[in-house]
Amino acid sequence: MSFAVTVDLVMLTVRADALCVLLVRRAIPPFEGSYALPGGFVLDTEDLTDAAIRELSEETGLQQPATHLEQLATYGSPGRDPRARVVTVAYLALLPEAPDPTAGSDAAEAAWLPVESLPPLAFDHAAILRDGVERARAKLEYSPLAAAFCPPEFTIAELRQVYEAVWNAKLDPRNFHRKATSTPGFVVPTGHSTAGDRGRPAQLFTRGPATVLYPPLLRASPPTSS
Amino acid sequence: MSFAVTVDLVMLTVRADALCVLLVRRAIPPFEGSYALPGGFVLDTEDLTDAAIRELSEETGLQQPATHLEQLATYGSPGRDPRARVVTVAYLALLPEAPDPTAGSDAAEAAWLPVESLPPLAFDHAAILRDGVERARAKLEYSPLAAAFCPPEFTIAELRQVYEAVWNAKLDPRNFHRKATSTPGFVVPTGHSTAGDRGRPAQLFTRGPATVLYPPLLRASPPTSS
DNA sequence: CTCAGTTATCGTCAGACCGACGATATAAGT
DNA sequence: ACTTATATCGTCGGTCTGACGATAACTGAG
């Protein structure tokens, strides 16, 4: 009746138009050499969320604080860790584009890998990651969370590219522009604009105050389950 | 670094047009005499979901198996149980209308109480319950989960009353009928109908194969967060 | 400077969907 | 037969969306 409790992080970001996850290579058995989600033990007097925040900065030497962190789910199959009974609370973190993590890292190596075409992962981390990606995909529909993948100021096109990368789908720039700017509280214009890029300069926006998108921004109709 | 792990259940049902939760009265300190969510320790070799299923039938002497069970969230603040460090994995269960639980129950008393106007709850169970109710309310929008509150065969009106009870809102019977019957995979007509009630007999339906409602059945616009 | 290329932004239009609500069907009870 | 209650079908106008044309405002090549 005594368990070890860990937190594992599904850290997602968008790099080069692809949804990527931060993975670390395990230096010790079991699964030595395999990639795994970053994570670690929850301390005695520490709240679960605090442990997630700590791991977020500690295990991965990243400067960027996550713009979004939420609990994902808890995994505790008796056999999921061959050494002991370990229950892990998984968290989902969304980050703006971040540089490759390298030095100062606790784990041997850490790397951003695209969620498509992943190597086998340690433990049940493949399932956890799948759940995290699915959560992120679903949440983009009815929450303004896509902005969490963007820098503090961003263009509508950057926001659209987030949707395209996460959903792995093409969206019409004109319709997306109308939708993003007309949904109350989604984005707020700053008055600034970009310059130096190709094409006409774009307005810059910040995250708006809305916590839900109403009406939602739905994906194309899901696989007809008939 | 060693934790006790429990599962707690947010069991919801609709009784007399009100969303109700099953609560048990604690027979021992702490919070002796207070109501609490049913729950218990996870066994050494037991999966989390199995523990939830076990508690579902064990702690509450209910015949009705839950028509839906899903993990809700995990709560592990250091101070949430004054006796020890306990991490609890909360599950959300939806049941058709069930009789009052009485005998054979492990806990002293169990009762269905409407989620509005609740007494103070033990531990952080008020917060867990709030999260469970909010999850249920949100899921009715985009999933066919409302049918989990209904018996195997049900009428469109019964389904509508579930929405009305959970959302605490009135829905137009004609528009709801159109929506429920036209959303692919939501409900399947059985060919049978009711008889003996007041008014015109109604067709009976079963849960359809859909896992998501597309398009969703949205609540009225949320509080304008501006 | 002029022109082609590129991206942002605004419009238009038809179809899907929704909320409000009228109309009709089919039962029970008197 | 008539009232009451509920189920079910239609209609109509407004809103939202997808497809896509048109224009604006920049960069870079010549």
- What is the model's pLDDT at position A103? 54
Question: Which residue type is seen at B23?
Answer: L
Judge contact between B86 and B5, C-beta under 8 A: yes
* pLDDT band at residue B66 under the 50/70/90 scheme: confident
The yes-or-no verdict on residue B219 having pLDDT over 50 is: yes
* pLDDT band at residue A217 under the 50/70/90 scheme: very high
Spatial distance from the CA of B211 to the C1' of C23 (Å)? 35
Contact B71 A73 (CB under 8 A): yes
- Under DSSP, the state recorded for A57 is H
Judge contact between A106 and A23, C-beta under 8 A: no
* pLDDT band at residue A34 under the 50/70/90 scheme: very high
Nearest chain B residue to A214 by CA: give it.
B221
Q: Please report the DSSP string for B9-74 in residue order.
A: EEEEEEETTEEEEEEEE--SSSSTTSEE--EEEPPTT--HHHHHHHHHHHTS---SPPSEEEEEEE
Q: Which nucleotides of C are covered by protein (CB under 7 A)?
A: 5-11, 17-23, 25-28
Alpha-carbon distances, residue B147 vs B50, B71, B164, B166 (angstroms): 23, 18, 13, 12
- What is the model's pLDDT at position A225? 40
Judge contact between A15 and A95, C-beta under 8 A: no
- Both tokens of residue A200? 């006409």
Report if CB A174 to strand C is under 7 Å.
yes
Residues 130-159 of B with CB under 8 A from A: 142
More confidently predicted of A14 and A99 = A14
User: How far is the alpha carbon of B27 from chain A, nearest alpha carbon, in Å?
Assistant: 22
- What is the model's pLDDT at position B222? 58
CB-nearest to B184 from A184, A211, A224 is: A224
- What is the model's pLDDT at position A209? 97
Quick one: which H or E segment has residue A12? Answer: strand A4-15
Which residues pair with residue B35 across a beta bridge? Answer: B25, B121
More confidently predicted of B224 and B31 = B31
Q: Which nucleotide is nearest to B216 (CA to C1')?
A: C17
The pLDDT > 70 percentage for chain B reads 92
Q: What is the pLDDT of residues B13-27, one digit of tens each?
A: 999 999 999 999 999
The pLDDT > 90 percentage for chain B reads 82
Distance of CA A96 to the CA centre of its chain: 9
Q: What is the pLDDT of residues A143-161, one digit of tens each?
A: 999 999 999 999 999 999 9
* pLDDT band at residue A25 under the 50/70/90 scheme: very high
At B17, phi and psi to the nearest 5?
60, 20
Q: Which nucleotide is nearest to B177 (CA to C1')?
A: D8
Q: Is A221 on the interface with B (CB under 8 A)?
A: yes
Q: What is the pLDDT of residues A63-89, one digit of tens each?
A: 777 789 999 999 999 999 999 999 999
* pLDDT band at residue B49 under the 50/70/90 scheme: very high
* Nearest to B72, CA basis, from B98, B57, B94, B43: B94
The yes-or-no verdict on residue B106 having pLDDT over 70 is: no
Spatial distance from the CA of B222 to the C1' of C8 (Å)? 31
* Nearest to A7, CA basis, from A60, A45, A43: A43
Quick one: which H or E segment has residue A120? Answer: none
Catalytic residue among B46, B97, B109, B134: B109
The secondary structure of chain B in percent helix, strand, coil, rounded to multiples of 5, reads 25, 30, 45
* pLDDT band at residue A62 under the 50/70/90 scheme: low
Q: What is the mean pLDDT of residues B37-59?
A: 94
User: How far is the alpha carbon of A41 from chain B, nearest alpha carbon, in Å?
Assistant: 7
Judge contact between B83 and B6, C-beta under 8 A: no
- Both tokens of residue A192? 């600034």
Average pLDDT over all residues of chain B = 92
Nearest chain B residue to A212 by CA: give it.
B222
- What is the model's pLDDT at position A220? 85
Q: How many CA atoms lie within 13 A of A127 on its CB side?
A: 9
- What is the model's pLDDT at position A65? 78
* A184-193, B91-100, B106-115, range with the lowest pLDDT: B106-115
The yes-or-no verdict on residue A200 having pLDDT over 90 is: yes
More confidently predicted of B59 and A184 = A184
At A25, phi and psi to the nearest 5?
-90, 130
Nearest chain A residue to B45 by CA: give it.
A78
181-200 on B, CB < 7 Å from strand D: 181, 193, 197-200
- What is the model's pLDDT at position B226? 35
Residue with tokens 């009746």: A1
Q: Which residues contact B196 (CB under 8 A, 6 or more apart)?
A: none
* A140-154, A162-176, B90-104, B153-167, range with the lowest pLDDT: B90-104
Alpha-carbon distances, residue A175 vs A129, A165, A182, B76 (angstroms): 31, 17, 11, 44
Q: What is the pLDDT of residues B187-217, one digit of tens each?
A: 999 999 998 889 999 999 999 999 999 999 9
Question: Which residue type is seen at A148?
Answer: A
* pLDDT band at residue A140 under the 50/70/90 scheme: very high
Judge contact between B125 and B11, C-beta under 8 A: no
Report how far residue A30's alpha carbon sits from residue A91's, in angstroms, rounded to the nearest whole number.
22
Q: What is the mean pLDDT of residues A183-190?
A: 98
Quick one: which H or E segment has residue A204? Answer: strand A203-207
Kindly give the interhelix angle for B156-167 and B173-182, rounded to the nearest 10 degrees: 110
- What is the model's pLDDT at position A71? 98
Kindly give the interhelix angle for A156-167 and A173-182, rounded to the nearest 10 degrees: 110
| Degrees to nearest 5, angle at CA B2 with B1 and B3 | 120
Our answer to whether residue B59 is catalytic in this structure is: no
More confidently predicted of B67 and B176 = B176
Give B-chain residues touching A87 at CB under 8 angstroms.
3, 5, 48, 87, 89
Q: Is B2 on the interface with A (CB under 8 A)?
A: yes
Give start and end residues of each alpha helix (H) in chain A: 48-58, 125-142, 156-167, 173-182
Q: What is the mean pLDDT of residues A22-30?
A: 92
Average pLDDT over all residues of chain A = 92
Give A-chain residues touching B224 at CB under 8 angstroms.
184
Judge contact between A65 and B91, C-beta under 8 A: no
